[in-house]
Amino acid sequence: MTETANWAGKRLGLPEDGPGSLAKMGRRSLALALDWAIALMVSGAFFGGDNTATLSFFMLEQWLLVATLGNSFGHLVAGIKVQKLDGSHVGIVSSLVRIGLILLVIPAVIWDADNRGLHDKAAKTILVRR
């Protein structure tokens, strides 16, 4: 008897590759870089590059867009989306928990075997490919 291959997301019932599979680090990094660049541009254009304005815009973009659309601008370009573990819509509260922990940084860089950071575990969300 041979053992089937294991992949990140298998325990969660997600496919190994393609739509619905876990978003890999490259796509996540691209999305984060794009969202941060947008926040920097808005902050530079309207607030003289103020750090608080940059962080505030980043937070608002992530919170509201993920809560309502399931993705930020960066997620959209990278071809990924945030959803609840059961595949349902994220919502305002889960999105707020998620971005609040992302802003603390440490929860976002501690991952489990399914490539889910503590921020996603706390919000009961997952980042998947479109």
Q: Which two tokens stand for residue 77?
A: 């370009």
19: left (phi over 0), alpha (psi -120 to 50) or beta: beta
- Closest to 66 measured CA to CA, from 8, 9, 123: 123
Cα of first residue to Cα of last residue in the chain, in angstroms, is: 34
Report if residue 28 sits inside a domain.
yes
Report if residue 52 sits inside a domain.
yes
Which residue range is the domain that position 82 belongs to? Answer: 18-129
Overall domain count for the chain: 1
Q: In terms of DSSP H, where are the helices of the chain? A: 25-47, 51-69, 73-78, 92-103, 106-109, 118-123
Per-residue pLDDT of the chain (130 residues; tens, 9 = 90+): 445 588 999 999 999 999 999 999 999 999 999 999 999 999 999 999 999 999 999 999 999 999 999 999 999 999 999 999 999 999 999 999 999 999 999 999 999 989 899 999 999 999 999 9
pLDDT for residue 1? 42
Report if residue 26 sits inside a domain.
yes
